[in-house]
Amino acid sequence: MPFLGQDWRSPGWRWVKTEDGWKRFEPFSPALEDRNSQLNDISHTVILTGNDEDEEIYTTEDCEFAAKKRKKDHCRNNTNSQCFYRENWIYVHKESTRERHGYCTLGEAFNRLDFSSAIQDIRRFNYVVKLLQLIAKSQLTSLSGAAQKNYFNILDKIVRKVMEDQYNPRLIKDLLQDLSSTLCKLIRGVGKSVLVGNINIWICRLETVLLWQQQLKNLQMNKQVNNGLTLSDLPLHMLSNILHRLSDGWDIITLGQVTPTLYMLSEDRQLWKKLCQYHFAEKQFCRHLILSEKGHIDWKLMYFALQKCYPIKEQYGDTLHFCRHCSILFWKDTGHPCTASDPNTCLMPVSPQHFIDLFKF
């Protein structure tokens, strides 16, 4: 196993506070090196103090000292030259060792796994939203101050994306509803629960969430004008195939509201039967049998009845993975520095709930 921690004999890292939290700083970037080369080209200079008699001409050694001083000041003051380590993986450890001190926190995972950029990827968007929803329900009080700030910064970016792209507003409405309910309970019982931060900050956050809810409620979907091929032009077997590939019952109902043809296809008993068989076991069917007036099983009503009692299978375009060999959490398409002979045998997909369980101590 390689040494993954920072050597205790090293001078340490320099950290810079950014919008997404504290990030490691590398002082010498390519942009800064170009600037340094320009400063090194200066061989001598003349400074006038106002009187010709007091004119000083610096020697080459003095000039080199001044150039080094300017390079040092430039390194401190020029924020554009900041270069951060952006590994999209994090080592998950739950105990202190000689190489690693302390514990891996949820706030660290938010920064290192770069959830702010993940929401811009359509494959990861639903995964991050579901994760934020689970945190809103149960883990909000366990977040540190920095993690809270990062959480609401990511949520702000999600709302902006939905307002601009109009992508999956129903999912965000559910998230904000759970978050507002949790915040109301926490603020009312402030003496009974542990809240990190001033109560006025939480009240402002609740007001912001309510404002977001109102904005999404007033969201008007733009009607796209397209003279080409539309969904209605597809043959029935292709439309039926599209409906059978949806794993969420609410998505099927929403799509069925588009045209009368899609509504007819969305009411197919076989469609809802396959959906129930995909998400639930046969033993669960027997406990919640719902019959129609004709004596047939109403699979559509059964799906929503079972959904209230049992969790459904979750599908995401891209998920986090955990390497059992390295104890590293990472996005699958970005990879990680694995030392196993066959890394694929060590990988385990991580659901949003499993992600939260990894950081419970």
345 part of a folded domain: yes
Q: Do 113 and 214 belong together in one domain?
A: yes
Q: Do 211 and 263 belong together in one domain?
A: no
Question: Which segment of 97-101, 217-221, 299-303 scores lowest on mean pLDDT?
Answer: 97-101
83 part of a folded domain: no
Q: Do 299 and 329 belong together in one domain?
A: no
pLDDT, one tens digit per residue, over 119-165 is 888 888 889 999 999 999 888 887 888 888 889 999 999 999 998 88
What one-letter code names the amino acid at 30?
Answer: P
Q: What is the DSSP letter of 313?
A: P
Q: Which domain range does residue 127 map to? A: 104-218
**CB neighbour burial string for 59-94, b if at least 16 within 10 angstroms, e if fewer:** eeeebbeebeeebeeebeeeeebbeeeeebbbbbbe
Q: What pLDDT was estimated at residue 43?
A: 40
Question: Once rounded to an integer, what is the mean pLDDT over residues 290-317?
Answer: 83
Residue 275: pLDDT over 80: yes
Model pTM score: 0.66
pLDDT confidence of 110, banded at 50, 70, 90? confident
Q: What pLDDT was estimated at residue 42?
A: 39
Query: Which of residues 196, 218, 240 is at a domain's end?
Result: 218
Q: Do 134 and 209 belong together in one domain?
A: yes
Query: Which of residues 200, 218, 236 is at a domain's end?
Result: 218
Report how many domains make up the chain: 3
Q: Do 257 and 276 belong together in one domain?
A: yes
Are 101 and 142 a contacting pair, CB within 8 Å? Answer: no
38 part of a folded domain: no
Q: Do 195 and 287 belong together in one domain?
A: no
Cα dihedral 283/285/288/294 (nearest 10): -140
Question: Which segment of 4-8, 211-215, 273-277, 283-287 scores lowest on mean pLDDT?
Answer: 4-8
Q: Do 200 and 142 belong together in one domain?
A: yes
33 part of a folded domain: no
61 part of a folded domain: no
pLDDT confidence of 90, banded at 50, 70, 90? confident
For 197, residues 6+ apart whose C-beta sits below 8 A from its C-beta are 145, 148
Are 320 and 355 a contacting pair, CB within 8 Å? Answer: yes
Q: Do 112 and 212 belong together in one domain?
A: yes
214 part of a folded domain: yes
Q: Do 327 and 299 belong together in one domain?
A: no
Residue 211: pLDDT over 90: yes
The sign of the dihedral angle between the CA atoms of 243, 246, 249, 252 is negative
The mean pLDDT value of the chain amounts to 75
Q: Do 304 and 325 belong together in one domain?
A: no
Q: Do 191 and 295 belong together in one domain?
A: no
pLDDT confidence of 328, banded at 50, 70, 90? confident
Residue 176: pLDDT over 90: yes
35 part of a folded domain: no
Q: What pLDDT was estimated at residue 344?
A: 83
Q: Do 189 and 277 belong together in one domain?
A: no
257 part of a folded domain: yes
